[in-house]
Amino acid sequence: MKATAQELAEILNGEIIGDPMITVHAPSKIEEGTIGTISFLANPKYEKFVYTTNASILLVGKDFIPKQDISSTLIKVDDVYASVGSLLNAFGASAQKEYEHSSLAFIDPSANVHKDTNIGPFACVGKEVQIGEGTHVSAHVTINENVTIGKDCMIYPGVTLYANTVIGNRCIIHAGAVIGSDGFGYSKDEEGVYTKINHVGNVMLEDDVEIGANAVVDRATMGSTIIKKGAKLDNLVQIAHNVEVGDHTVIAALSGIAGSAKIGKHVIMGGQVGVVGHREIADKVMIQGKSGVASNVTEVGKRLYGYPAIEYREYLKAYALMRQLPDLHQRIKELENQIKDLKK
């Protein structure tokens, strides 16, 4: 992609300081900027690079006032990070290709696959599958029977979609993810022998959901496991049967949500968070990485930390005291020895 400063400013609703006709073809980090690239300043600690970078264009905030001469053309915008996101999407977009279905793919005759889709080599599309316009199915993807996929989705290599999975529009599923596998459900008899409980539900991903590489979303025992609109799951996340993940919630890598838990809207979970089954977490809750949530969280916007998770500031106070335990222990021993001497 090539664009002039003028064209970019129009896209970003920005103000140009410098040459409006200068052209860029790629983004760059500000400290590594070269001629023909566009970079940005969002964090003040990187301001020193503004005066040394060779990037042709810099995105800066509208309140930025340079302290020295700058060789780059500036585009001043309201929100630098949001503008960078828009530009990266534009530069990362693939050139428009003709849609094709690989001769090495298997597509069941009963499947309804829109003509404007890409089906990669060795992909397998099962019976009664529905795939919408503009969707890209990469190589070695397995789509089992009765799966429905909406428009403009991206399914990366090696993804497995189990039967009856429903995927909305503009979803992204990264390599190796498994959607709709059996939940971890067993019954135990008097002798301690486990018998598998058949899971007859499915998984539903609403519009604009993104699932990370090697993540797993289990199908429901009955009904649906639901990942709601705009939710984002990182790599290696485990979502158990009958879980509901709310709109625009983000869950970082290696987190696990146990069966039938309900996660609210706009929740943020750090890496390696665990949530006990059948628990409910309110909207806008923030959970620090490596925390374990063992009880319901009913307060909207609450911040949690620790295992078991408690209020964030309370955890920090408790941790500060814990670090003093060795010294406190030594003082107690000294006091005990003094008491012994007094008794003598």
What is the per-residue pLDDT across 218-257, written as a single tens digit (0 to 9) for each? 999 999 999 999 999 999 999 999 999 999 999 999 999 9
CA angle 167, 172, 174 (to 5 degrees): 115
- What is the predicted pLDDT for the residue at 97? 60
The fold adopted by the segment(s) 159-308 is UDP N-Acetylglucosamine Acyltransferase; domain 1 (2.160.10)
Q: What is the pLDDT of residue 161?
A: 98
Contacts of 256 (CB under 8 A, 6+ apart): 237, 238, 240, 273, 274, 275
Instruction: Point out the catalytic residue in the list 241, 266, 278, 329.
Output: 241
Q: Say what the pLDDT of residue 92 is.
A: 67
Backbone angles phi, psi at 340, to 5 degrees: -60, -45
pLDDT at 184: 95
Confidence tier at 165 by pLDDT (50, 70, 90): very high
How far apart are the C-alpha atoms of 275 and 286, rounded to whole Å? 13
Question: What is the CATH number that goes with domain 3-92?
Answer: 3.40.1390.10
Supply the pTM of this predicted model: 0.84
Report the pLDDT averaged over residues 167-192: 97
Q: pLDDT tens digits, residue range 61-105?
A: 999 999 999 999 999 999 999 998 888 877 766 445 679 999 999
In sequence order, what are the beta bridge partners of 172? 154, 210
CA 339 to centroid of chain Cα atoms: 59
**What average pLDDT score do residues 294-307 get?**
97
In the three-class reduction of DSSP (H, G, I as helix; E, B as strand; rest coil), residue 123 is classed as coil
**What is the average per-residue pLDDT within 294-304?**
98
User: Would you call 241 a catalytic residue per the annotation?
Assistant: yes
Residues 6+ apart with CB under 8 A from 321: none
Nearest Cα to 161, choosing from 89, 99, 197, 111?
A: 111
In the β-sheet with 26-27, what is the strand arrangement from edge to edge?
15-17, 73-77, 57-61, 37-40, 26-27
Average pLDDT of span 304-309 = 95
For 19, the token pair is: 């040459």
Q: Report pLDDT for 290.
A: 96
Helix 5-12 vs helix 80-92: angle between axes, to the nearest 10 degrees?
120
Structure-token pair, residue 182:
């059996």
